Chain A
Amino acid sequence: MSCYDLSRLLFDLKMKETVYQSSLKDFERVMADYDLTTEEKDALRVGDPRKLRQLGVHGMLCLYIKRLQSEFRDNIYWQQK
Chain B
Amino acid sequence: MPLVSALAASHAPNILLEPGREWEDFMDLHYSMAPQASANRPTFEQQKKLRQDAEAAFAVLREDLEQAKPDVLIVVANDQFVNFFWNNIPTFFVTIGDDVKGQFTRHSFHYRNHKELGKAIIRAGMDRGIDFSYGEHIELQHTQNVPLYFLLREAKIPILPIYVNTWVDPAPSPRRCYQVGELIRAVAENFQERVAILATGGLSHFPGSPRIGEIDETFDHQLLEVMRQGKGKSLVDYSVQDLLQAGDTEFLNWMLVIGAVGDAKASYTAYMPDFVATGWGFVSWRSL
The residue of chain B having its C-beta at the shortest distance from the C-beta of A75 within the complex is B25
Contacts of B32 in A (CB 8 A): 49, 63, 66
Is B42 positioned at the interface, with any CB of A under 8 Å from its CB?
A: no
> Interface of chain A, helix or strand or loop or mixed?
helix
Is B22 positioned at the interface, with any CB of A under 8 Å from its CB?
A: yes
The residue of chain A having its C-beta at the shortest distance from the C-beta of B141 within the complex is A81
Is A80 positioned at the interface, with any CB of B under 8 Å from its CB?
A: yes
Is B39 positioned at the interface, with any CB of A under 8 Å from its CB?
A: no
Is A30 positioned at the interface, with any CB of B under 8 Å from its CB?
A: no
A4 touches B142 (CB 8 A): no
Interface residues on A, range: 20 to 34
> Interface of chain B, helix or strand or loop or mixed?
mixed
A60 touches B208 (CB 8 A): yes
A46 to chain B, nearest CB (A): 12
Is B13 positioned at the interface, with any CB of A under 8 Å from its CB?
A: yes
B197 to chain A, nearest CB (A): 23
Out of A11, A63, A77, which one reaches B208, CB within 8 Å?
A: A63
The 4 closest A-B pairs by CB, nearest first: A59-B208, A60-B208, A81-B141, A76-B25
By a beta-carbon cutoff of 8 Å, the part of chain A in contact with chain B is 4, 7-8, 11, 14-15, 49-50, 53, 58-63, 66, 72, 75-77, 79-81
Other contacts beyond A59-B208, A76-B21, A80-B141: 16, CB < 8 A? A4-B86, A8-B86, A14-B81, A49-B32, A49-B33, A49-B208, A50-B210, A53-B208, A53-B210, A58-B81, A63-B208, A76-B22, A76-B26, A77-B26, A80-B13, A80-B104
